[in-house]
């Protein structure tokens, strides 16, 4: 098998010399795949992708161990704009659009950002013109002249994804794709990602808490807990797995288990 | 291709995409008329004003260039700058020092002053890369005092004089010897700068500045280098301001360091706040308004016959600027440019209070 597009090996990230948020996470994303990275709050998901995209901001947060390889290059320590130009597009967690600009201008900014990186665009899969983007996102075309601050949550997510498509990504990492969205819109966003993957062969890494949603579209999934990968496997297998069903999907064999029981069970049964 | 839409209506993807770019030349006859009237007015202004007011207008035109520079930096790239006087002073002194012993061509002096301003902008940009709004302002304040002190030293020890006298400049033999000639020259230059600034904001460079100002993390995740955007914003705008400083030095004919005090920086901030932050039209309105304001009031008092001694007025300017800044921040935070926009829409909709609600084209 050829080398995966993104390969994270034994990653360790320490906050302020004290908190090890990510403790030896390894995973890989193949070209053209949809991979999920799920876990509860504080599991280290966001920290991991910040390490990948170079967004770990200050001296007090450091990648202390491990390697990240993207398309054959070691990218630990790169600036965010460098990783972005190399083809890693991150849709950030909450604020992701430029509020004072109109929708059209938001997209133009994305175009502006990649003008310097055009020379590599030949190898990438993505959209290069606004026309194509508007064809894919008609709701954005209808609001092209509106300020982005007036968009709804779902539209903001669409706009953010549209903007990243304009930067000709090789992999698009969506942090909390469905945060604060209604279930219907959430499904639309997930469908959109699956669509992009199918039509363009775009590699997608979804980072989310919504285990069921991610499992439904991802081919392969990693479950993070307290900075460790505790489970990984094909989505179909994970869906059948007893512990995953119990902890993340809320199904229990036999008697109903309360939160307290689950917590107790977790303490007894060390996954790592 | 399957269309994804958050609204319930599905849109056929065969709809032609509307061009959203506006072409400045694609106007109606109405706008053409107003444009021509405006140009004609600007061209014939010297015929209706006295020499003193023409002088003031020239000062205003130079201030327009400086205010545009400051507004691009503070209004659009949102890097608050108190170093306006320093950049102006750098330009003025560069022009002054170059013409002390030699007589280099006018345009060359302007070019060198611009480059020096850009270099100064680069220096002050470096500490601003890791700083936020207020701290950037403090950095530029530090620059102001550093430059102010340097200019003082140059004037006192190197030149050993109380200022520099600049020669009358000439552009390809056209001597700028009278306010009238200056007026037309400055009109051309300022118009050029206005158009350049408007284009800059629509260019990729300007878009990057605004994106970084708006949301630096999102900008960076799209592949925009925040540090490069900030540095380029500082370099370009301070070069512009320095250019204005050199022009002003030439126009006034003398350059002294006392002129470039903190009050001047505040005056320019007043211009962009009163005019409208982040709007090129705002810089123009604000610069003209603030430059003409004190003398207009003086004139008004004279006409009204209120006893106006020159001495009592000097303190009044600062009070007036303060009141204006507070007033505009409270009641019209988007400045004169917004008032103008409102007048324009009101005039276009005229007999009606509101424009008919436009159906969103789907």
The tens digit of pLDDT for each residue in A17-48 reads 788 888 888 889 988 889 999 888 878 888 88
**3-state SS string over A96-155?**
CCCCCCEHHHHHHHHHHHHHHHHHHHHHCCCCCCHHHHHHHCHHHHHCCCCEHHHCCHHH
Confidence of residue A264 (pLDDT cuts 50, 70, 90): low
pLDDT at B189 over 90: yes
Quick: pLDDT tens for A57-88: 666 788 888 888 888 888 888 888 888 888 88
Domain count, chain B: 1
Distance from the Cα of B227 to chain A's closest Cα (Å) equals: 10
Residue B72 located in a structural domain: yes
Residue B108 located in a structural domain: yes
- The predicted model gives B165-186 an average pLDDT of 89
Residue B39 located in a structural domain: no
Please give the Cα distance from A211 to A221 (Å, whole number). 9
Instruction: Specify the higher pLDDT residue, B11 or A16.
Output: A16
Distance from the Cα of A213 to chain B's closest Cα (Å) equals: 18
Residue B6 located in a structural domain: no
B chain contacts of residue A81, beta-carbon cutoff 8 Å? 220, 223-226
Of A81-95, B128-142, B283-297, the poorest mean pLDDT is in A81-95
- The predicted model gives B134-157 an average pLDDT of 92
Of A173-182, A196-205, B255-264, the poorest mean pLDDT is in A173-182
Find tokens 């260019």 and name the residue: B203
Please give the Cα distance from B319 to B353 (Å, whole number). 37
pLDDT at A114 over 80: no
- The predicted model gives A47-62 an average pLDDT of 81
Residue B20 located in a structural domain: no
The chain A residue lying nearest B225, using CA atoms, is A81
Interface test with B, best of A53, A83, A108, A112 (most B CBs within 10 A): A112
Please give the Cα distance from B235 to B87 (Å, whole number). 11
Quick: pLDDT tens for B85-117: 999 999 999 999 999 888 889 999 999 999 999
Percent of chain B with pLDDT over 90: 52
B chain contacts of residue A98, beta-carbon cutoff 8 Å? 210-211, 214-215, 218-219
Of A137-141, B31-35, B317-321, the poorest mean pLDDT is in B317-321
Confidence of residue B309 (pLDDT cuts 50, 70, 90): low
Q: Which residues of B264-299 are buried (b: 16+ CB within 10 A; e: fewer)?
A: bbbbbbbbbbbbbbbbbbbbbbbbbbbbbbbeeeee
pLDDT at A268 over 70: no
| Contact flag B214-A114 (C-beta cutoff 8 Å) | no
Tell me which residue range forms the domain holding B172. Answer: 46-348
Closest by Cα among B246, B82, B254 to B155: B254
Q: What is the pTM of this model?
A: 0.82
pLDDT at A54 over 60: yes
Chain A contact for B252 (CB, 8 A cutoff):
no
Mean of per-residue pLDDT scores for chain A = 80
Residue B339, Cβ density class (10 Å: 0-12 exposed, 13-18 middle, ≥19 buried): middle
Of A134-138, B106-110, B256-260, B279-283, the poorest mean pLDDT is in A134-138
Q: Identify the structural domains of chain A with CATH numbers, from first to last.
A: 6-240 (3.40.50.300)
Given this model, what pLDDT does residue A23 score?
Answer: 86
Question: Using an 8 Å Cβ cutoff, are B334 and B276 in contact?
Answer: yes
Quick: pLDDT tens for B176-186: 889 999 999 99
Question: Using an 8 Å Cβ cutoff, are A178 and A94 in contact?
Answer: no
| CATH, residue B332 | 1.10.3470
Given this model, what pLDDT does residue B18 score?
Answer: 43
Residues facing A175 on adjacent strands: A207
Nearest CB neighbour to B211, from listed A109, A115, A134? A109
Distance from the Cα of A187 to chain B's closest Cα (Å) equals: 11
Given this model, what pLDDT does residue A67 score?
Answer: 87
Residue B141 located in a structural domain: yes
B chain contacts of residue A144, beta-carbon cutoff 8 Å? 18, 20
Residue B105 located in a structural domain: yes
Alpha helices in chain B (DSSP H): 29-48, 51-71, 84-98, 106-128, 133-153, 179-202, 204-214, 216-221, 226-252, 262-275, 280-304, 310-331, 335-348
ipTM value = 0.76
Distance from the Cα of A6 to chain B's closest Cα (Å) equals: 17
The chain A residue lying nearest B207, using CA atoms, is A109
A chain contacts of residue B200, beta-carbon cutoff 8 Å? none
| Contact flag B4-A158 (C-beta cutoff 8 Å) | yes
Chain A contact for B207 (CB, 8 A cutoff):
yes
Percent of chain A with pLDDT over 90: 3
Secondary structure of residue A230 in the 3-state scheme: strand
Please give the Cα distance from B210 to B78 (Å, whole number). 8
pLDDT at B227 over 60: yes
Residues facing A14 on adjacent strands: A20, A62
Distance from the Cα of B133 to chain A's closest Cα (Å) equals: 17
B chain contacts of residue A114, beta-carbon cutoff 8 Å? 222-223
Confidence of residue B188 (pLDDT cuts 50, 70, 90): very high
- Please state, in angstroms and as integers, the Cα–Cα distance from residue B140 to each residue in A238, A256, B130, B148, B278, following that order: 57, 65, 14, 12, 19
């Amino acid at each position: 098998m050829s080398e995966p597009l993104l390969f994270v090996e034994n990653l360790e990230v320490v906050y302020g010399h004290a908190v090890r948020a990510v403790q030896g996470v390894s995973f890989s994303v193949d070209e053209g795949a949809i991979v999920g990275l799920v876990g509860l709050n504080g599991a280290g998901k966001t920290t991991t992708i910040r390490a990948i995209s170079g967004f770990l901001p200050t001296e007090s947060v450091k990648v202390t161990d491990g390697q990240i390889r993207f398309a054959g290059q070691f990218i630990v320590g790169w600036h965010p704009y460098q990783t972005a130009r190399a083809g890693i597009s991150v849709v950030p967690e909450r604020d992701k659009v430029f509020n004072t600009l109109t929708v059209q201008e938001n997209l133009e900014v994305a175009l502006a950002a990649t003008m310097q990186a055009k020379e590599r665009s030949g190898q990438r899969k993505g959209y290069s013109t606004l026309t194509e983007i508007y064809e894919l996102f008609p709701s954005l075309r209808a609001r092209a002249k509106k300020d982005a601050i007036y968009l709804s949550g779902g539209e903001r997510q669409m706009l953010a994804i549209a903007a990243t498509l304009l930067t000709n990504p090789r992999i698009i990492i969506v942090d909390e794709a469905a945060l604060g969205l209604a279930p219907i819109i959430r499904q639309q966003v997930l469908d959109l990602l699956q669509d992009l993957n199918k039509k363009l062969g775009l590699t997608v890494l979804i980072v989310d808490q919504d285990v069921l949603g991610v499992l439904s579209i991802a081919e392969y999934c990693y479950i993070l807990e307290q900075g460790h990968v505790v489970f990984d496997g094909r989505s179909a297998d994970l869906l059948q797995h007893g512990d995953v069903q119990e902890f993340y999907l809320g199904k229990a064999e036999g008697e109903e288990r309360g939160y307290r029981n689950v917590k107790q069970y977790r303490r007894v049964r060390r996954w790592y | 291709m399957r269309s994804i839409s958050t609204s319930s209506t599905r849109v056929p993807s065969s709809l032609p995409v509307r061009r959203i770019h506006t072409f400045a030349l694609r106007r109606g006859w109405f706008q053409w008329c107003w444009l021509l009237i405006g140009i004609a007015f600007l061209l014939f202004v010297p015929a209706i004003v006295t020499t003193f007011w023409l002088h003031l207008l020239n000062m205003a035109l130079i201030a327009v260039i400086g205010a545009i520079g400051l507004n691009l930096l503070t209004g659009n790239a949102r890097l608050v700058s108190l170093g306006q006087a320093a950049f102006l002073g750098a330009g003025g002194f560069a022009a002054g020092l170059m013409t002390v012993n030699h007589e280099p061509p006018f345009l060359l002096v302007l070019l060198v002053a611009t480059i020096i301003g850009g270099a100064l902008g680069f220096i002050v940009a470096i500490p601003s890369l890791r700083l936020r709004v207020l701290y950037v302002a403090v950095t530029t304040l530090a620059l102001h005092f550093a430059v102010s002190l340097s200019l003082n030293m140059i004037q006192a020890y190197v030149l050993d004089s109380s200022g520099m006298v600049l020669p009358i400049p000439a552009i390809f033999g056209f001597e700028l010897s009278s306010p009238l000639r200056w007026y037309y020259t400055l009109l051309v230059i300022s118009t050029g700068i206005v158009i350049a600034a408007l284009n800059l904001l629509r260019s990729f460079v300007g878009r990057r500045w605004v994106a970084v100002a708006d949301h630096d993390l999102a900008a960076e995740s799209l592949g925009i280098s925040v540090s490069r955007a900030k540095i380029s914003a500082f370099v370009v705008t301070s070069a512009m301001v320095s250019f204005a400083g050199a022009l002003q030095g030439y126009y006034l004919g003398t350059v002294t360091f006392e002129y470039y005090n903190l009050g001047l920086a505040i005056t320019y901030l007043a211009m962009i706040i009163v005019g409208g932050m982040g709007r090129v039209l705002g810089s123009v309105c604000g610069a003209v308004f603030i430059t003409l304001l004190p003398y207009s009031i003086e004139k008004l008092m004279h006409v009204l016959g209120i006893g106006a001694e020159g001495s009592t007025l000097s303190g009044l300017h600062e009070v007036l600027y303060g009141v204006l800044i507070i007033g505009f921040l409270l009641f019209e935070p988007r400045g004169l440019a917004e008032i103008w926009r409102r007048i324009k829409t009101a005039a276009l909709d005229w007999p009606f209070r509101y424009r008919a609600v436009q159906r969103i084209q789907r």
